[in-house]
Amino acid sequence: MMIYQLTKTAPSGLEAAIQLCRDLVSARVEAHFNNLPFDVSRWYHQHVPKGFVSPDPLACMPAINNYETWLTVMITLMPHVHPNFFESIILEHLPNGGDFSEIGGVKATNHRGMLPTGETLQFILSGTNVAQRVQVQQLFSEDHFFYRQGIIWLEPVKEGEPVMSGRIILSQEWVDKILLGKESPPRFGSDFPAKKIETGIRWDDVVLHPRTMDQINDIRIWLLHHEKFNSDANLKVKIKPGYRVLFYGPPGTGKTLTAALLGKEYNKDVYRIDLSQIVSKYIGETEKNLESVFKKAETKDWILFFDEADALFGKRTNVQSAHDKYANQEVSYLLQRVEDYAGLMILASNFKNNLDDAFLRRFHSIVHFPMPNAIERQNLWFKTLPAGLTADASINLRELAEQYELTGASILSAVHYAALQSYSRGDGVLYQSDLMDGVRREFLKEEKSMDN
């Protein structure tokens, strides 16, 4: 009898685990064709060293504490390392080919080998034992940690087809963890319409209205202490999970930057939802696109940031057409999904009144980002000046701040232009005239006039 020495080194541990999986599946297939009984549990425990309930390479995965969960992950992982894993085993018993429907499996669009389905796992774990096959379905229930943590799930099938005929999907994140030993961020696309946002700026660089900063501090307090609600016998059953915030105010006043800084301070990834990928003219597609983000985020404790949220969370209308009906259904779906999200969710809008009242009632905090006043603008000019250029004596930041009403983003853009002029001249000096030219261009962008 072979004993698999599953070591703690990645290559040998992976190779040993793959060989163990292959031998187990081969033994099941051989027993099937010879019409012999086969006990997976007994076989597994005879071949795996005692004390190894979670052999490498799955040590990085939580709760892999029995042969069912281990085998579920392994057979789903196999196509990622051996494209012909299942075909090579089947050919040993059907060298001339033939149908082997009992093992399930499907073909993919690009992958030329067999991909395991729920029926594949049922066959390997239970053979033809009906009671055991039904029990295997529990591995894909919404209560199982596979589903709750977004590790493994069954691909939906067409109505009327057996649920277990769906392909078993192992999250790409976990494929990378197991095979590469690292966690890769989700790839932006139609299946995941959100982008991670980061910033190199610090809180000291930010200039916000004192009232705005006070409300931001409320969010910081929640981020520090929200887990304590779960340990309070009274509050945990009365307070919904998560924290929902609306940032509203003119463009360029720091809404996106504040979201990124909150993530940076508390070591949380911040993902900005791309509304161009989310909103669809096709019925049901908007909800489907958004669900992929929520499903991924639920297991990660991300901060979700919806910029220009009016497009998704706008006011419901009176139903005058089928389009109005389904648009209102989208809002109703969003209301429910917003309340279910257990992390921090930030919606940003230029105008508070553009959002549906039902959303406004569900916000824990509504934070106004006003246009900066003259004192704040002067501070912004000061904090934005290039450290590597000499400020000429002609520069008068107070005058700039008092005369020209600009947002922090516009001030940064004006300084960017002025710095380029200095770099172009090669003198290393920043002049008031450079800054004025930058301001003038900012006003032209918005088709506003300025006094020279």
Comma-separated ranges of CATH 3.40.50.300 domains in the chain: 194-368
pLDDT recorded at residue 67: 86
d(CA 136, CA 158) in angstroms, rounded, equals 21
pLDDT recorded at residue 319: 42
Q: Which fold would CATH assign to domain 194-368?
A: Rossmann fold (3.40.50)
Query: With contact defined as beta carbons under 8 Å apart, do 366 and 248 qualify?
Result: yes
138: exposed, middle or buried (C-beta count within 10 Å: 0-12, 13-18, 19+)? exposed
pLDDT recorded at residue 322: 42
The candidate with the shortest Cα–Cα distance to 279, out of 352, 335, 331, is 331
Whether residue 251 has a cis bond before it, omega within 30° of 0:
no
Whether residue 241 has a cis bond before it, omega within 30° of 0:
no
Query: With contact defined as beta carbons under 8 Å apart, do 325 and 288 qualify?
Result: no
**How far does the chain reach from its first CA to its final CA, in angstroms?**
91
- Side-chain half-sphere exposure of 75, counting CA atoms within 13 A: 30
pLDDT recorded at residue 47: 81
The candidate with the shortest Cα–Cα distance to 90, out of 121, 118, 114, is 114
d(CA 121, CA 77) in angstroms, rounded, equals 12
pLDDT recorded at residue 59: 61
d(CA 75, CA 442) in angstroms, rounded, equals 59
Query: With contact defined as beta carbons under 8 Å apart, do 289 and 280 qualify?
Result: yes
d(CA 111, CA 121) in angstroms, rounded, equals 19
pLDDT recorded at residue 451: 61
CATH code reported for the domain at 374-445: 1.10.8.60
- Side-chain half-sphere exposure of 153, counting CA atoms within 13 A: 15
Query: What does pLDDT average to in each consecutive run of 10 residues of the chain (452 residues)?
Result: 45 76 93 92 80 52 77 93 91 82 89 92 93 93 86 90 93 85 72 85 92 95 87 79 91 94 94 73 65 80 87 56 49 76 90 80 91 95 93 93 93 94 93 94 82 54
Whole-prediction pTM value? Answer: 0.74
Q: How far is CA 168 from the centre of its chain?
A: 20
Report helix angle 67-81 to 118-126, nearest 10: 130
Comma-separated ranges of CATH 1.10.8.60 domains in the chain: 374-445
Query: With contact defined as beta carbons under 8 Å apart, do 118 and 163 qualify?
Result: yes
d(CA 92, CA 104) in angstroms, rounded, equals 17
Q: How far is CA 64 from the centre of its chain?
A: 23
